[in-house]
Amino acid sequence: MQNILDHLKSQQETALSELCDFLRIPGISADSKYVPDMQRCADWILDREVRRKGDWTVKRPMLEPGGWAFEFANEHYPDIDDTAIVLLALQHARA
């Protein structure tokens, strides 16, 4: 348990910094002046896609990993509900 707490504490500054970077991006708008901000937001999200294989590959070794998880310490298990929300956001960013 102490290892988990130590890991979380060691990642706290990074997690808060990344969250603050994301929150500084101006809000979504149909106004064309926000297109660069929307692209920056989409790039930020795309950079955080989970692409590492987890233990789920024991039963599905041929599948490529891909998706998103809204936890900073989750590098192996993208969540289907989180991924669905990200895909909706990316679709909106492309519009």
Phi first, then psi, for residue 90 (nearest 5°) are -65, -35
Q: Is 55 a known active-site residue?
A: no
Candidate list 6, 21, 43, 81, residue with the active-site label: 81
Positions marked catalytic = 81
